[in-house]
Amino acid sequence: MTLLGGLLPAEVDELTSRMDLPRYRADQLLQAVHRECVEDVANIRQWPAQAREQLQSEGWETGLLPVIRTVVSDDGETTKSLLRLGDGTLVEAVLMQYPEEGKHPRSTVCVSTQAGCAMGCVFCATGQMGFERNLTAGEVVAQVLHFARFLRERGEHVTNVVFMGMGEPLANYAETIRAIRILTDPRAFGLGQRHITVSTVGVVRSIDRLASEGLQVGLAISLHAPNEELRQELVPTAGPTSVRDLLDAASRYFDATGRRVTFEYALIDGVNDSPELASELATLLRGRRTHVNLIPVNPTAGGYGRPARKRVLEFERILRDAGINCTVRVEKGTEIAAACGQLRTDDANQRQVNVTLVE
């Protein structure tokens, strides 16, 4: 199976040229895949039947994936889908909606870039799975198209994409960048670059590569600790100077792009949530153009607990009093295991059931 959604517009031009079709057929194909989110090549009605048949005979698919299971949060604002890739691999993607009075809700799609993850963060459900394989750009884009079609049926649209699902995006660098370029190309999905955020646990060399791409995407770095010893405990793949290395990489990213970097800090009860560590983090970040996103850890198989609300607010207060820009993340989808750190394809050994789009 080859996904049309994984082609850059220039490659669609080449495809239609090879098929001896006029150039406007390329734009029709891109429109059908990225804007109309058609389910099947046979449904690309703008194209002649013979051309559609040729696409099918060559093994092309539009880019939508079979849905194994879809669950919706109690408030209806978070939707998690388990999707099956062409080789049977399962990945999870999440839609998070934030109502805005008088307008369509902000609709953020959280995509996976790998099946499983090799980074091994001790409090992350995906990290506990181990690594299976990298996803292709087409498989990443397909997750966005899945929810774009879901929203299109409700008269809404995708407003943001965050690379914060299963896997480490910068460990699958080439396909992550390719997916970003497809999603932001005006002839393809057409999302603004500033509406995309890439999250990394800290692949420093790839952060520098990303800074040189000429993109305006946001960068979020999962820090989780203000010192090297504690960070290595929480992120086993971290190097001996990872905290300092990441601070320096964040500064270089800001200098190259003008985009302020967000440091994500998962607060774990009794592990990294003390007032002393908050003060240490404040000292570390003072004077830097950064933002801290505090994330009370979500329940996973790792057995780590969430701090009491009072403790979370105290950690935030210490940072704010020190002049550090910070927020406590608005939680979405915790009860359906769709929140940060919870994505894990536990359904892999269960009966597979195709589910239609949730109304």
Q: Across the beta sheet with 103-110, what order do the strands follow?
A: 67-72, 78-84, 90-100, 103-110, 160-163, 196-200, 218-222, 261-267, 290-296, 326-328
What is the pLDDT averaged over residues 333-346? 51
- Count of CB atoms within 10 A of residue 22's CB? 9
With pLDDT > 90 as the criterion, what percentage of the chain qualifies?
A: 82
Looking at the fold, whether 53 and 130 belong to one and the same domain comes out as no
Distance, CA of 220 to CA of 198 (rounded, Å): 6
CA-closest candidate to residue 289, choices 265, 315, 263: 263
The reply to whether 121 and 252 lie within a common domain is: yes
Dist. CA 277–CA 271, nearest whole Å: 10
Residue 102: its pLDDT value, please?
82
Q: Is 124 a catalytic residue?
A: no
- Domain of residue 312, residue span: 67-349
- The pLDDT score that the predictor gives to residue 337 is 52
In a domain, 355, yes or no: no
CATH code of the domain containing 14: 1.10.150.530
Q: In the predicted model, what is the mean pLDDT of the chain? A: 91
Q: Residue 158: is its pLDDT beyond 50?
A: yes
| pLDDT on residue 238 | 95
Which carries the bigger pLDDT value, residue 119 or residue 8? 8
Stated pTM of the model: 0.92
Same domain, 187 and 291: yes
pLDDT of residue 355: 31
Instruction: Report the DSSP pairing between strands 131-134 and 103-110.
Output: unpaired
Residue at a domain's end among 24, 43, 61 = 61
| pLDDT tens per residue across span 313-332 | 999 999 999 999 999 987 65
Q: Are residues 219 and 273 in the same domain?
A: yes
Which residues, listed in sequence order, are joined to residue 188 by a DSSP beta bridge? Answer: none
The CATH number covering residue 238 comes to 3.20.20.70
Overall domain count for the chain: 2
**Rounded Cα gap, residues 38 and 277, in angstroms:** 51
Helix residue ranges, H only, the chain: 9-18, 24-30, 49-57, 125-129, 137-152, 173-184, 204-211, 228-234, 242-257, 275-285, 309-321
pLDDT in the model for residue 127: 74
The reply to whether 291 and 212 lie within a common domain is yes
Whether 117 is catalytic: no
Residue 257 CA to residue 164 CA, distance in Å, equals: 20
Mean pLDDT score, 97-102: 89
3 state SS of 66: coil
Rounded distance between C-alpha atoms, residue 148 and residue 107, angstroms: 10
pLDDT, position 335: 52
d(CA 71, CA 94): 10
Active-site residue, selected from the candidate residues 37, 61, 92, 168: 92
Give the HSE-up count for residue 116: Cα atoms under 13 Å, Cβ half-sphere.
10
Is pLDDT of 351 > 60? no
Looking from the CA of 144 toward its CB, the CA atoms found within 13 Å total 29
358 in any annotated domain: no
Residue 1's pLDDT is what?
Answer: 63
72, 125 contact by CB (below 8 A): no
Q: Cβ–Cβ contacts within 10 Å for residue 10, how many?
A: 11
Name the domain boundary from 31, 61, 91. Answer: 61
One domain for residues 44 and 82:
no
Q: Is residue 28 domain-shared with residue 92, that is, in the same domain? A: no
The number of angstroms, rounded, from the C-alpha of 208 to the middle of its chain's C-alpha atoms is: 19
pLDDT band at 124 (very low <50, low <70, confident <90, very high): confident
**Does 123 lie in the same domain as 56?**
no
Do 47 and 125 fall within a single domain? no
- Catalytic one of 37, 117, 326, 340: 340
Concatenated DSSP letters for 241-261? Answer: THHHHHHHHHHHHHHHH-PPE
The answer to whether 261 and 219 have CB atoms below 8 angstroms apart is: yes
